[in-house]
Amino acid sequence: MERVTYKTSQILEILGVSRDALRYYEEQGIVKPNQDVTNNYRKYNNYDIYTLLVADFYKKRNLSMKEVKKLQEGRAIEELETLLEIKAEQLEETIQNKKHMLKKIKETKAFCEELKEHLNQYSIREFPTYEVVDEFSDFYSFMEYPSILGNVDVIKDDILSKIMREFTFDDNGLLDTKMYIVEKHETIHKEKVGCYLQYAKCIYTIVEDGRYRNGNNDIKNKIFESTLEWGNKQGLKPKGVAFVNTRLITYLDNKERAFLEIYIPVEEE
């Protein structure tokens, strides 16, 4: 019986793969089709198609082409089982990281919606529960950042979202500032000893900072003056502390627009 061979165009149609993908399989040594010496066209046989089907089988199970190539050299079932277990664990971790990323995307999208209502507006809101896991001197003390990375999972979390600035103040103005690395919680873990920030009643607002709006000017005094003025009109007594989070940064004309979330705890009645 005449041996059937297939052209590249036929393989693409049979398997539904792209030309680039087929070339990649060849470059990785998964298949090695013969070439017609008269026109240099590739000629694939039934075994080549079968090999490509097997490669796709394992590709869909998270194996790299290098790992598929090693399988072709021969592996015991037990070795394959171990490899698949490793791949399953890696995929589970990836799925969890992607879920965490999806949560962050939704949170940032929700904040974009909140901007419309709360930018330069004041309201009363409960302060979320944060655990303070580390401190450093100032946002721009970048040489201190390596020492705080031990408290940040850089695979899942960005540094900006983990930073919180605390201001203390009195009737005469701002007194001091601290920088915290924080972990947000739904509730306080009573079994875990730690420093938690939790306030039931705060003045809340969102303000815009950054070079696009303010140049190099420091606007924190202006922000606190206007926020506290609103609080005084409402008969609210501040506790002398305020917390600032960076929630969103965009750019216009190559200058950043930073949107900051401010909480100023007040005395409860």
DSSP string, 110-159: HHHHHHHHHBT--EEEEEEEEEEEEEES-TT-GGGHHHHGGGS-TTT--H
User: According to the model, what pLDDT value does residue 1 have?
Assistant: 41
What global pTM score does this model have? 0.78
DSSP strand pairing (163-170 vs 241-252): antiparallel
- For residue 74, the model assigns a pLDDT of 86
User: What is the gyration radius of the CA atoms in the chain, in angstroms?
Assistant: 29
Is the confidence at residue 13, as pLDDT, over 80?
yes
Q: Which of 68, 66, 34 is nearest to 51 (CA)?
A: 68
Residue range(s) defining the domain that contains residue 256:
119-265
Residue at 85 is within a domain: yes
- 129 and 253 inside one domain: yes
1 located within any domain: no
Among residues 74, 104, 132, which one ends one of the domains? 74
pLDDT in tens, 35-74: 887 888 899 999 999 999 999 999 999 999 999 998 888 8
Q: Please, which pLDDT band fits residue 90 given cuts at 50, 70 and 90?
A: very high
One-letter amino acid for residue 38 of the chain:
T
Q: Are residues 205 and 152 in the same domain?
A: yes
CATH number for the domain spanning 57: value is 1.10.1660.10
Give domain status of residue 230, yes or no: yes
Answer yes or no: is 160 within a domain: yes
CA distances to 22, 110, 166, 266 from 222, in Å: 62, 27, 16, 19
Q: Which residues contact 170 (CB under 8 A, 6 or more apart)?
A: 240
Of 91, 115, 139, the residue that ends a domain is 115
What pLDDT sits at residue 170? 86
Residues 155 and 226 in one domain: yes
Which residues are 238's β-sheet partners?
A: 266
Q: What is the DSSP letter of 15?
A: H
Give residue 11's pLDDT: 93
Residue 218 falls inside a structural domain: yes
Q: What is the pLDDT of residues 124-135, one digit of tens each?
A: 999 999 999 999
Is the pLDDT score of 248 beyond 70? yes
Contact 199, 124 (CB under 8 A): no
SS3 of 166, please? strand
Answer whether residue 180 is part of any domain: yes
Answer yes or no: do 39 and 69 share one domain.
yes
Tell me, yes or no, whether 46 lies in a domain.
Answer: yes
Q: Report the candidate in 201, 220, 212, 208 with the shortest Cα–Cα distance to residue 246.
A: 208
54 and 97 belong to one structural domain: no
Is residue 142 domain-shared with residue 247, that is, in the same domain?
Answer: yes
Q: Tell me how many domains the chain contains.
A: 3
Buried b (16+ CB within 10 A) or exposed e, 164-194: bbbbebeeeeeeebebbbbbeeeeeeeeeee
Is residue 171 domain-shared with residue 246, that is, in the same domain? Answer: yes
Q: Are residues 41 and 87 in the same domain?
A: no
- In this structure, the answer to whether residues 194 and 178 fall within a common structural domain is yes
Q: What is the average pLDDT across 117-145? A: 92
Please indicate, yes or no, whether residues 166 and 50 belong to a single structural domain of this protein.
Answer: no
Query: Mean pLDDT: which of 16-25, 28-37, 220-229 is highest?
Result: 16-25
Q: Identify the pLDDT of residue 190.
A: 62
The pLDDT of residue 151 is above 90: no
Q: Assess whether 60 and 19 both reside in one domain.
A: yes
Q: What is the pLDDT of residue 62?
A: 92
Considering the domain boundaries, does residue 2 fall inside one? no
CA distance 149 to 147: 6
Which CATH number characterizes residue 165's domain?
3.20.80
pLDDT in tens, 217-235: 666 777 778 888 899 999 9
Closest among 230, 257, 239, 248 to 127, alpha carbons compared: 239
Q: In 96-252, at which residue ranges do the beta strands (DSSP E only) sit?
A: 123-136, 163-170, 173-185, 195-209, 241-252
User: Over 70: is that where the pLDDT of 192 sits?
Assistant: no
One domain, residues 143 and 209: yes
Least confident range of 118-122, 124-128, 209-213: 209-213
